[in-house]
Amino acid sequence: MGKALICLLCCWLLAPPAMSAPSLAQLQAQAREGDPWAQLNLGAAYDHGLSGLAPDPVKAVHWYRQAAEQGLDKAQFNLAHCLATGHGVPQDYAEARLWMRRAAQQGMADAQFLMGVMLLAGLGGRSAVDEGRAWLQRAAMGGNADAIDYLKNLQ
């Protein structure tokens, strides 16, 4: 489970496809207007103290949640990470598991891996070995090296 926790500690700063980097003021305006990619990136800027912003995990979670609620898998993954680790919010494995599942269902291999780990470990709910293995297998088929290693260790 060590690799899973390391993966949970990783947040992503991703730009939307075919978009040049906006200024901070533009990013904030786009986020307020409801652009999920801007919300994700503003959350990451607060999370990591980028673009001249002081790190603020509470604001990071706010913007991740805004984008996650619009269905953006990367934001769902980041929100799940924050909930699982208690970064900017009280730790809540049950809610983390819900958001991780949403990202995993969209085909995100890293989320599929962590969904499998959460299910096997019973984080956020009952342990579900068969479903956990199935998520790990999906992640492995998607090229997630951690899932491949984890599956080898389960056998």
- 97: tokens are 């598991």
- Which pLDDT band holds residue 12 (cuts at 50, 70, 90)? very low
Q: Which CATH number fits domain 22-106: 3.40.50.150, 1.10.150.20, 1.25.40.10, 1.10.760.10?
A: 1.25.40.10
What is residue 55's predicted lDDT score, i.e. its pLDDT?
A: 97
What ranges do the domains of the chain cover? 22-106, 108-155
Read off the pLDDT of residues 79-117 as tens digits, 9 standing for 90 and up: 999 999 999 999 999 999 999 999 999 999 999 999 999
Residue 2 has pLDDT above 90, yes or no: no
pLDDT > 90 fraction of the chain, expressed in percent and rounded: 83
Residue by residue, what is the 3-state secondary structure of 99-136? Answer: HHHHHHHCCCHHHHHHHHHHHHHCCCCCCCHHHHHHHH
What is residue 44's predicted lDDT score, i.e. its pLDDT?
A: 96
What is residue 20's predicted lDDT score, i.e. its pLDDT?
A: 56
Residue 59 has pLDDT above 90, yes or no: yes
Note the pTM of the prediction, 2 decimals: 0.86
